[in-house]
Amino acid sequence: MLTRFFRQDRITVYLLLPVLVLLLWPGAGTAGGSPYTAGLQALRQGPEGMPLYSPLRKVMEISPWMSLAFSLALLTGLAHGLTRMANDSELFGRRTHLPVLLLPLFLALLPFGLVPDPAFIGMWAVVLAMGRTWTAVGHKGILSAVFDAGMLLGIASALYLPYAFLIVVIWASLAVTRPLSWREYVLPAIGLAAVLLLCWGAVHFIDPQAWKPAASMHYAGDAPAPKPAHWMYGVVLIAVLAILSISTILSFAKVYTHSVMREKNIRASLLAFTFALGLLALFAWLLDHRIPPVLLATPAALLLTYPLLPVRRSLWDEAASWSLLLLACWARWAG
């Protein structure tokens, strides 16, 4: 029932999203209090970061309720953007809203997953940039689209600087879908640089010491990651994720093999996007031994949609989604 409800292409699925998020909101299941509270405390203790993140951080510090409302709105917007990007670019072959279910589930499984850190806030602009690029594939004139995508990546980079690296995903998408045209490769870089230069100029005029690009790449604060209430949780989580990973690989390979050339190109771009986010996650781990959860949850929500989308395996699909939901509730409320 859960998978079937989100598998449909109806706007009514968003009515269940706030209920789902509140159910998965961090409880008191870890030693030392809520992981959400600890995560917000870590953000307050950390560096100011990039120029677009600093004012948002001050807004979240007004009240815990403000932080909760901001996180809920951000997650709703990101889930909608991710679903629209996939549907408009025909990433799955047919329209669905499964990412609306899978994104909060994967975020809830990860430490501080629902905390609005810079990478989480900036991901909405990354998703819009990828959607702008992939939906333009197949059209003759896409110069404005790739320039817009570059500017959106610039906005994301002004929140979390490593996102600037994702310009290679735009270049990879162009390389596998279109003949070589140097202007299409230059314009995204110009758009990205223009936004960063405008932000730098504004911050330098207001407060030259406010922008600390190197500090913005570090994980804010030193709050310890929450530990699971029981060792069995880790065993069950690894087993479930291993089964889902194997199913995802097999389903994606099957869909990719039977795709037409345009669909293969888009799905190859999805693999490039996943690989690039994986590199950013590795960089974050080497830097601070912590990974922004959204870097893992976003590609996972897209890829797991492939095995859950067919309707002929309804029992397996429901078992997969309910397993993730129960594990997320266990991680947040047990103990």
Instruction: Answer for the pair 108, 124: CB distance below 8 angstroms, yes or no.
Output: no
Gap between the Cα atoms of 244 and 3, Å rounded? 14
Q: pTM of the predicted model, to two decimals? A: 0.88
Per-residue model confidence (pLDDT) at position 70? 82
Q: Crossing angle for the helix pair 17-24 and 64-88, nearest 10 degrees?
A: 130
Mean pLDDT (10-residue bins), the chain, 335 residues: 80 82 61 51 57 77 74 88 90 89 89 82 93 82 89 92 93 83 89 90 74 67 57 83 91 88 88 95 87 93 90 75 86 67
For the CA atoms of 307, 308, 311, 316, the dihedral, rounded to the nearest 10 degrees, stands at 90
Per-residue model confidence (pLDDT) at position 249? 93
Gap between the Cα atoms of 49 and 216, Å rounded? 4
Q: How would you label 291-311 residue by residue, b for 16+ Cβ within 10 Å and e otherwise?
A: bbbbbbbbbbbbbbbbbbbee
Gap between the Cα atoms of 58 and 125, Å rounded? 20
Per-residue model confidence (pLDDT) at position 56? 80
Cα distances (angstroms) measured from residue 171 to each of 161, 189, 260, 318: 18, 10, 21, 38
The 3 state secondary structure assigned to the chain is: CHHHHHHCCCHHHHHCHHHHHHHHCCCCCCCCCCHHHHHHHHHHHCCCCCCCHHHHHHHHCCCHHHHHHHHHHHHHHHHHHHHHHHHHCCCCCCCCCHHHHHHHHHHHHCCCCCCCCHHHHHHHHHHHHHHHHHHHCCCCCCHHHHHHHHHHHHHHHCCCHHHHHHHHHHHHHHHHHCCCCHHHHHHHHHHHHHHHHHHHHHHHHHCCCCCCHHHHCCCCCCCCCCCCCCHHHHHHHHHHHHHHHHHHHHHHHHHHHCCCHHHHHHHHHHHHHHHHHHHHHHHHHHHHCCCCHHHHHHHHHHHCHHHHCCCCCHHHHHHHHHHHHHHHHHHHHCC
Gap between the Cα atoms of 29 and 26, Å rounded? 8
Gap between the Cα atoms of 68 and 118, Å rounded? 16
